[in-house]
Amino acid sequence: MTPPTLTLTYFGIAGAAEPIRLAAAIGKVPYIHKSLEFKDWPEYKKTTPVGLLPLLEVDNGKDDKQVIPESVAILRYFGKLGGLYPTDPLEALKVDSIVDSSLDSMKAIALTVQGSVTNMISDEPWTKEEVAAIRKRIATTKDAGLLMYMAYLNGVLEKNGSGWFVGDSVTIADLMVLRVTSWVGSGMLDGIPPETLDPFPLIKAHMEKIAALPEVKEFRDKHTTPYGNFKFGMK
Protein backbone atom coordinates (compact mmCIF):
# COMPACT_ATOMS: atom_id res chain seq x y z
CA MET A 1 0.00 0.00 0.00
CA THR A 2 1.38 3.38 -1.02
CA PRO A 3 1.78 5.71 1.96
CA PRO A 4 -0.15 8.98 1.81
CA THR A 5 1.45 12.25 0.78
CA LEU A 6 1.66 14.54 3.80
CA THR A 7 1.65 18.33 3.50
CA LEU A 8 2.30 20.40 6.61
CA THR A 9 1.20 24.05 6.47
CA TYR A 10 2.52 26.61 8.94
CA PHE A 11 4.25 29.96 9.09
CA GLY A 12 7.98 30.20 8.44
CA ILE A 13 8.77 30.31 12.15
CA ALA A 14 9.57 27.51 14.59
CA GLY A 15 6.46 27.79 16.77
CA ALA A 16 3.89 25.04 17.10
CA ALA A 17 5.12 23.15 14.04
CA GLU A 18 8.74 22.75 15.14
CA PRO A 19 8.18 19.57 17.20
CA ILE A 20 6.46 18.07 14.15
CA ARG A 21 9.34 19.02 11.84
CA LEU A 22 11.88 17.56 14.25
CA ALA A 23 9.83 14.38 14.69
CA ALA A 24 9.83 13.97 10.92
CA ALA A 25 13.58 14.57 10.76
CA ILE A 26 14.40 12.09 13.54
CA GLY A 27 11.85 9.51 12.42
CA LYS A 28 12.57 9.98 8.71
CA VAL A 29 8.96 10.75 7.85
CA PRO A 30 8.67 12.30 4.36
CA TYR A 31 6.41 15.31 3.94
CA ILE A 32 5.94 18.54 2.02
CA HIS A 33 6.41 21.75 3.98
CA LYS A 34 4.19 24.64 2.92
CA SER A 35 5.22 27.95 4.47
CA LEU A 36 2.55 30.63 4.79
CA GLU A 37 3.34 34.35 4.83
CA PHE A 38 1.81 36.29 7.72
CA LYS A 39 0.28 38.77 5.27
CA ASP A 40 -1.67 35.91 3.66
CA TRP A 41 -3.04 34.56 6.94
CA PRO A 42 -6.29 36.59 7.21
CA GLU A 43 -7.59 35.20 3.93
CA TYR A 44 -6.13 31.72 4.37
CA LYS A 45 -7.65 31.52 7.85
CA LYS A 46 -11.13 31.54 6.31
CA THR A 47 -10.36 28.22 4.60
CA THR A 48 -9.18 26.39 7.72
CA PRO A 49 -11.31 24.07 9.88
CA VAL A 50 -10.81 25.94 13.18
CA GLY A 51 -8.85 29.06 12.25
CA LEU A 52 -5.52 27.75 13.48
CA LEU A 53 -2.23 26.44 12.12
CA PRO A 54 -0.50 24.07 11.66
CA LEU A 55 -2.62 21.95 9.36
CA LEU A 56 -1.81 18.56 7.91
CA GLU A 57 -3.17 17.48 4.55
CA VAL A 58 -3.22 13.70 4.14
CA ASP A 59 -3.55 12.73 0.48
CA ASN A 60 -4.23 9.08 -0.22
CA GLY A 61 -4.71 9.69 -3.93
CA LYS A 62 -7.85 9.23 -6.00
CA ASP A 63 -9.27 12.53 -4.71
CA ASP A 64 -9.05 11.28 -1.12
CA LYS A 65 -7.64 14.26 0.79
CA GLN A 66 -8.20 15.01 4.45
CA VAL A 67 -7.20 18.21 6.25
CA ILE A 68 -6.41 17.68 9.93
CA PRO A 69 -5.95 20.52 12.46
CA GLU A 70 -4.37 20.54 15.95
CA SER A 71 -0.60 20.54 16.38
CA VAL A 72 -0.35 17.89 19.10
CA ALA A 73 -2.54 15.43 17.19
CA ILE A 74 -0.32 15.94 14.13
CA LEU A 75 2.81 15.52 16.27
CA ARG A 76 1.46 12.28 17.72
CA TYR A 77 0.72 11.00 14.20
CA PHE A 78 4.24 11.81 13.02
CA GLY A 79 5.58 10.22 16.19
CA LYS A 80 3.77 6.99 15.44
CA LEU A 81 4.98 6.99 11.84
CA GLY A 82 8.57 7.62 12.91
CA GLY A 83 8.80 5.38 15.95
CA LEU A 84 8.85 8.24 18.46
CA TYR A 85 5.63 7.25 20.22
CA PRO A 86 5.47 4.10 22.38
CA THR A 87 3.23 1.17 21.53
CA ASP A 88 3.07 0.13 25.19
CA PRO A 89 -0.01 1.78 26.77
CA LEU A 90 1.73 2.78 30.01
CA GLU A 91 4.74 4.27 28.21
CA ALA A 92 2.35 6.11 25.88
CA LEU A 93 0.54 7.47 28.94
CA LYS A 94 3.83 8.82 30.29
CA VAL A 95 4.57 10.51 26.98
CA ASP A 96 1.10 12.03 26.81
CA SER A 97 1.44 13.29 30.37
CA ILE A 98 4.69 15.13 29.56
CA VAL A 99 3.14 16.56 26.40
CA ASP A 100 0.19 17.88 28.42
CA SER A 101 2.49 19.32 31.09
CA SER A 102 4.42 21.12 28.37
CA LEU A 103 1.23 22.67 27.03
CA ASP A 104 0.06 23.67 30.49
CA SER A 105 3.42 25.22 31.33
CA MET A 106 3.16 27.80 28.58
CA LYS A 107 -0.53 28.69 28.79
CA ALA A 108 0.05 31.96 30.62
CA ILE A 109 2.88 33.00 28.29
CA ALA A 110 0.79 32.14 25.24
CA LEU A 111 -1.99 34.35 26.55
CA THR A 112 0.41 37.31 26.67
CA VAL A 113 1.30 36.72 23.03
CA GLN A 114 -2.32 36.36 21.92
CA GLY A 115 -3.66 38.93 24.34
CA SER A 116 -1.19 41.60 23.33
CA VAL A 117 -2.79 41.53 19.90
CA THR A 118 -6.38 40.68 20.71
CA ASN A 119 -7.03 40.62 24.42
CA MET A 120 -9.17 37.64 25.37
CA ILE A 121 -10.18 39.33 28.62
CA SER A 122 -11.14 42.83 27.45
CA ASP A 123 -11.59 44.68 24.18
CA GLU A 124 -8.40 46.68 24.65
CA PRO A 125 -5.04 45.13 23.68
CA TRP A 126 -2.38 45.04 26.37
CA THR A 127 0.44 47.54 26.15
CA LYS A 128 4.05 46.35 25.86
CA GLU A 129 4.60 47.45 29.44
CA GLU A 130 1.64 45.41 30.66
CA VAL A 131 2.81 42.34 28.77
CA ALA A 132 6.34 42.65 30.18
CA ALA A 133 4.98 43.03 33.72
CA ILE A 134 2.79 39.94 33.38
CA ARG A 135 5.67 37.90 31.96
CA LYS A 136 7.99 39.03 34.74
CA ARG A 137 5.51 37.67 37.25
CA ILE A 138 5.28 34.41 35.30
CA ALA A 139 9.07 34.09 35.36
CA THR A 140 9.36 34.70 39.11
CA THR A 141 6.39 32.82 40.59
CA LYS A 142 7.83 29.51 41.78
CA ASP A 143 4.76 27.68 43.04
CA ALA A 144 2.58 27.93 39.93
CA GLY A 145 2.67 27.96 36.16
CA LEU A 146 5.93 27.96 34.24
CA LEU A 147 8.45 27.54 37.06
CA MET A 148 6.38 24.90 38.82
CA TYR A 149 6.25 22.85 35.63
CA MET A 150 9.96 23.36 34.89
CA ALA A 151 10.79 22.06 38.38
CA TYR A 152 8.51 19.09 37.82
CA LEU A 153 9.98 18.29 34.39
CA ASN A 154 13.53 18.66 35.69
CA GLY A 155 12.59 16.12 38.37
CA VAL A 156 11.21 13.69 35.78
CA LEU A 157 14.53 13.82 33.92
CA GLU A 158 16.41 13.18 37.14
CA LYS A 159 14.24 10.20 38.03
CA ASN A 160 14.37 8.64 34.57
CA GLY A 161 18.13 8.98 34.41
CA SER A 162 18.60 8.58 30.66
CA GLY A 163 18.50 12.25 29.69
CA TRP A 164 15.15 11.60 27.99
CA PHE A 165 11.72 11.99 29.53
CA VAL A 166 10.40 8.49 28.83
CA GLY A 167 12.53 5.40 28.34
CA ASP A 168 16.04 5.58 26.94
CA SER A 169 15.44 7.29 23.60
CA VAL A 170 13.86 10.43 22.21
CA THR A 171 10.06 10.61 21.97
CA ILE A 172 7.59 13.31 21.05
CA ALA A 173 7.51 14.22 24.75
CA ASP A 174 11.08 15.50 24.46
CA LEU A 175 10.22 17.53 21.38
CA MET A 176 7.23 19.16 23.06
CA VAL A 177 9.28 20.15 26.09
CA LEU A 178 11.90 21.56 23.73
CA ARG A 179 9.24 23.75 22.16
CA VAL A 180 8.65 25.38 25.55
CA THR A 181 12.25 25.58 26.73
CA SER A 182 13.50 26.97 23.42
CA TRP A 183 10.87 29.69 23.64
CA VAL A 184 11.53 30.52 27.28
CA GLY A 185 15.30 30.44 26.85
CA SER A 186 15.38 32.45 23.63
CA GLY A 187 15.44 35.90 25.20
CA MET A 188 12.79 36.96 22.69
CA LEU A 189 10.05 37.37 25.29
CA ASP A 190 10.18 40.73 27.06
CA GLY A 191 10.05 40.11 30.80
CA ILE A 192 11.31 36.51 30.60
CA PRO A 193 15.13 36.44 30.50
CA PRO A 194 17.03 33.35 29.24
CA GLU A 195 18.35 32.91 32.79
CA THR A 196 14.87 31.76 33.79
CA LEU A 197 16.00 28.19 33.02
CA ASP A 198 19.25 28.37 35.02
CA PRO A 199 17.75 26.67 38.13
CA PHE A 200 16.94 23.62 35.98
CA PRO A 201 20.26 22.14 34.78
CA LEU A 202 18.78 18.90 33.48
CA ILE A 203 16.31 20.87 31.35
CA LYS A 204 19.19 22.83 29.82
CA ALA A 205 21.18 19.63 29.24
CA HIS A 206 18.10 18.13 27.61
CA MET A 207 18.00 20.99 25.10
CA GLU A 208 21.63 20.32 24.19
CA LYS A 209 21.01 16.58 23.94
CA ILE A 210 18.32 17.07 21.31
CA ALA A 211 20.39 19.64 19.43
CA ALA A 212 23.24 17.11 19.25
CA LEU A 213 21.16 14.43 17.51
CA PRO A 214 22.59 13.95 13.99
CA GLU A 215 19.15 14.18 12.38
CA VAL A 216 18.37 17.42 14.17
CA LYS A 217 21.74 18.95 13.30
CA GLU A 218 21.32 17.98 9.65
CA PHE A 219 17.79 19.37 9.51
CA ARG A 220 18.74 22.66 11.13
CA ASP A 221 21.77 23.06 8.88
CA LYS A 222 19.69 22.49 5.76
CA HIS A 223 16.39 24.14 6.71
CA THR A 224 16.95 27.35 8.64
CA THR A 225 14.34 29.84 9.80
CA PRO A 226 12.50 31.59 8.39
CA TYR A 227 11.36 28.39 6.74
CA GLY A 228 10.27 28.41 3.13
CA ASN A 229 8.60 25.71 1.09
CA PHE A 230 10.50 22.44 0.87
CA LYS A 231 10.12 18.70 0.47
CA PHE A 232 11.60 16.66 3.27
CA GLY A 233 12.79 13.14 2.52
CA MET A 234 11.02 13.07 -0.83
CA LYS A 235 12.69 12.34 -4.16
List phi, psi (to 5°) of 216. -70, -45
Quote the pLDDT of residue 120. 52
> Could you say which DSSP state residue 51 is in?
S
Quote the pLDDT of residue 121. 56
124-179: pLDDT as tens digits: 777 888 888 888 888 888 888 899 999 999 999 999 999 999 999 999 999 999 99
pLDDT band at 190 (very low <50, low <70, confident <90, very high): confident
Quote the pLDDT of residue 128. 83
Q: Do residues 183 and 106 lie in contact, with contact meaning Cβ atoms separated by under 8 Å? A: yes
12-24: pLDDT as tens digits: 999 999 999 999 9
Report pTM. Answer: 0.93
Q: What are the domain boundaries of the chain?
A: 5-82, 89-213
Cis check: omega of the bond before 199, within 30 degrees of 0: no
Q: What percent of the chain has pLDDT over 90?
A: 75
Quote the pLDDT of residue 50. 95
| Domain 89-213 in CATH 1.20.1050.10 | yes
| Residue 28: strand pairing partners | none
Quote the pLDDT of residue 114. 66
Statement: residue 115 has pLDDT above 70: no
Quote the pLDDT of residue 123. 62
pLDDT band at 191 (very low <50, low <70, confident <90, very high): confident
Question: What are the residues whose beta carbons fall under 8 Å from the beta carbon of 141, sequence distance 6 or more?
Answer: 147
| Residue 54: strand pairing partners | none
Quote the pLDDT of residue 160. 98
70-110: pLDDT as tens digits: 999 999 999 999 999 999 999 999 999 999 999 999 988 88
Q: For domain 5-82, which CATH number applies: 2.60.40.3500, 3.40.30.10, 3.90.1650.10, 2.30.110.10?
A: 3.40.30.10
| Residue 66: strand pairing partners | 58
